A and B are shown apart, each in its own frame.
Chain A
């Protein structure tokens, strides 16, 4: 794992409300925030004061830059054995819009839909019981063969754990097989809220929090970076959000393997939880801010525009986020759940959004080894 870059001391605005000064003092001294600090940050009425603190932490790490990537999603199947309450993407398998992409199809799709400037493919799918283990390395090998330049960021911990079960092999073995076939890193999905209560209520049957963390630990041990998400705005409490952040922080202390933390707004439409409604942009900005402040050891906080909405993702660059994800180009999981954002944004549209926010757009690769400032 890369050692984290040295972080400058944050420059904290001087006119913040008195209730936040103990937290400001800790930040200035480089001290870690505790659960109670997180509660204060979630409850404080002045969103912009909380935002200003998060922004100080963000600028200390990343200055005025905001990164993005030219990427595209590949949702190889939507057939899924699980019935997570928050999902509108899954199919049983007998619906006419069930998708399973075979290697030939993937090859054709890469030729047709992946422009040359795309440098990352985000590969995730349902837990499809029809697919044998061999399907997965073959999928990656096909991508690798067709587009050797693409960074393959693929498979959540849920998918890796599932593969270990069908292959009757340890996860470490699965990771090795996939790595040989071209896997270069893993996305952060499937973490949902790392809480036994929420797991039981909303995604019982799917990988429980402890195993999500344990699998991630193994991926990091194998030398691959991953991201971590948090799907918020449904039944979870603020304490459960903070527990989630603490669990990520603790694992990161051990492994250093997380690159990005990605707070995701839950989209209820077409899911069994439709009646809950969607949380607000205010809540999204605050949660991003608290994430930046709590996760002092995760280098990057992403505002994923597909789920936040373009405008909130743009504003988030002043509330702790330093990355806005990418061009995406084709996305099904959020859009099946009523997401109204466009299917994709061009790199120049992303750069314009970032500039309008008052940040400097920088195009990155998946592992942040290549950073290219955009020309105005």
Chain B
């Protein structure tokens, strides 16, 4: 086994860490020492001293779901009187409010509702885009595969049609822990690890950027957390399509796993710092203020995190599990300044935007530019070149 000192030297030399290095770090009790190591890497990648956040809104179009994950307090089975399926007008109202508050993106996610086939999704995306210029950061690998199943169409076709209808990027939800032993225990009916990664690779292959998530602190071992990170890192080496990695702790209340002891602040920070150190090919790491609270999100900025995620105008999923720590913009900026960084608003591509959501600085992604079929272009760029469009071309997220 390596020592902390060995691993520390590797980090300082910029060498890639092995799983056993990461395992050692995860068990290393000395938090400030771990924080300093993660901070070193974070400053190397982000010498600008900025911490970003995005103003967006979660729109959960339906809570009807047939997948019945044990860690989820959000879903309702088909036929449940508490089940809902928002009509388009409800979604348009939410988008209008979002834009009025300076929001430029919606996080559009829902349950695996058997009524949603590709036509339904196309209508949803097209309707939204006709209604307002807003970035649709939508679905997740398991929702996309659910749509393939309902529509009896191959993945490539579904993705191409969704993209053509207005899907701009895909969140990394449903990643949980990318180890099938764990998935069979907590979400046996949902996508297994290979499927989740395959969908992400297919998204990247079609030029759709995505994020990657990890939900930890339930039935997984430390080695399984590292295996999750290893698989994400491996795919990122090939595709470079992940813009960010986001980890959070399982929230037990109101779920079928409510007796599971929840991870505390120390476990969260250690895992977040190790993800920054081990996944050396993803640029951005988001703090999870929704599960950790705003104070912990602030502290995590000294543990390798460089983004506070979204100032959520609405959040339903984790709140169903009793977790309500929504923060406002002032609180976020206060934490960022207290940590010694400069707060900046961004879009999904980490371009910096102003208070109205208008583009200020375009953020380059050299590795993605090389691998993506469309180069480093944005959805609002014209198909022919990757230069930014004029300011009048609508949503900047």
* A interface, CB within 8 angstroms of B: 13, 15, 45-49, 51-52, 55, 64, 277, 279-285, 309-312, 314-315, 318-319, 352-353, 356-359
Contact = CB atoms under 8 A, between A and B. Distances in A.
B153 interface: no
A282 B296 CA distance: 8
Contact of B302 (A48, A309, A311, A359): A48
Contact of B266 (A52, A282, A356): A356
B36 A315 contact: no
B132 interface: no
A356 B331 CA distance: 28
A270 B348 CA distance: 38
B155 to A, nearest CB: 40
Given A52-B36, A309-B293, A315 B298 contact: no
Nearest to A315: B265
Contact of B29 (A48, A277, A281, A358): A358
Contact of B261 (A283, A318, A352): A352
B33 interface: yes
Greatest chain B CB density within 10 A among A47, A356, A359 is at A47
B314 interface: no
Nearest to B27: A358
Interface of B: 29-33, 35-36, 39, 261, 263-269, 292-293, 295-296, 298-299, 301-302, 331, 334-335, 338-340
Given A311-B264, A353-B264, A358-B266, A49 B298 contact: no
B31 A311 contact: no
Nearest to B301: A282
A319 B295 contact: no
Contacts of B31: 48, 51, 315, 318, 357-358
A55 B334 CA distance: 26
B338 A48 contact: no
B340 A284 contact: no
Greatest chain A CB density within 10 A among B32, B331, B334 is at B32
Contacts of A312: 265, 295-296, 299
Contacts of B39: 46, 48
B32 A55 contact: yes
Contacts of A314: 264-266
Contacts of B267: 356
Contacts of A353: 264
A55 B30 CA distance: 9
B292 A311 contact: yes
Nearest to A50: B32
Given A48-B39, A48-B302, A282 B293 contact: no
Contact of A49 (B36, B292, B296): B36
Q: Which 9 A-B pairs have the closest CB atoms?
A: A358-B29, A281-B295, A311-B265, A51-B32, A48-B32, A318-B31, A48-B35, A280-B338, A357-B266
B107 to A, nearest CB: 25
A281 B264 CA distance: 15
A309 B296 CA distance: 10
Nearest to B335: A280
Given A282-B298, A318-B32, 7 more contacts: A47-B299, A282-B295, A282-B301, A282-B338, A310-B265, A318-B31, A356-B266
A15 B268 CA distance: 25
A49 B39 CA distance: 11
B253 to A, nearest CB: 13
B295 A46 contact: no
Nearest to A319: B32
Contacts of A311: 264-265, 268, 292-293, 295-296
